Amino acid sequence: MVKMVTETYIPRNRLFVLDDLSAGQAIELSAPQAHYLRNVLRFQDGEIVALFNGRDGEWAAQYLSQGKKTALAQVQQLLRPQNNIPDIWLVFALLKSDPMDFIAQKATELGVAALLPARTERTVVGRINIERMRNHVQEAAQQCERLEVPMVRECASLDEILANWDGSRILLYGDETGAGQSLCGLFPQRPEKLAVLIGPEGGFSARELDRLRTLPYALGINLGPRILRAETAALAALTATQLFWGDWEKVRGA
């Protein structure tokens, strides 16, 4: 059965692909994607799946099985053009697997453009599975209807990240000492590039805070009177930043 894309039927099953997308193009799906459509969603030939690649918008494509383990998606029509998202990064100290998975998924839903895992002086987790995090980010982007998948950088020490930082990108860091500023009204004009930095469960060391306070592009922010878990702080900061960024005229009182 062939399902046609109409105003009343828009495909909600979405896949991220690397290929360029345009009408009439045949996309070879990966083995996991073919398995997911055939064996999990029970797709039949002719059913419609949405494809996106972070560049060309979202397209409707017709599922076509090719043997037991492979499948094609025949691109049909544009569903949504590519949009521009706020250029907000999240830099976060390493945590255990479950909290890091949570941060990756929810940060994707909140619209971050990049995730940068960092080792700080009080980080207790020694390793991170970057491919696992990238898979979680891709799955979250598919589910929340984003048109792009955030970049996930390789893990580096906070000192290395700061040493290579682009000074034109403002860095907001959670200051658990209470010396941070309120986000609302912090900027005289909307910044073009922004990043949020969240420390580990034990907080930043005194040396790290001293260094951050000397950086001209770094600003400490206050996330409220309560002690927050690291993953909660990350989401609180991103939510406040996205509200501020996406509703700039209202926040500024214009």
Q: Which of 48-52, 63-67, 140-144, 149-153 has the lowest mean pLDDT?
A: 63-67
pLDDT-derived band at 249, boundaries 50, 70, 90: very low
Whether the CB-CB separation of 14 and 58 falls below 8 Å is answered with yes
pLDDT digits (tens, 9 = 90+) for 143-172: 988 999 999 999 999 999 999 999 999 999
Local structure of 134: helix, strand or coil = helix
Which pTM value belongs to this model?
0.82
Residue 244, burial from CB neighbour count under 10 angstroms (0-12, 13-18, 19+): buried
| Residue-wise pLDDT tens digits, 81-124 | 998 778 899 999 988 888 889 999 999 999 999 999 999 998 88
Domains of the chain, CATH where assigned: 14-80 (2.40.240.20), 87-252 (3.40.1280.10)
Least confident of 8-17, 144-153, 201-210: 8-17
Whether residue 252 has pLDDT greater than 50 = no
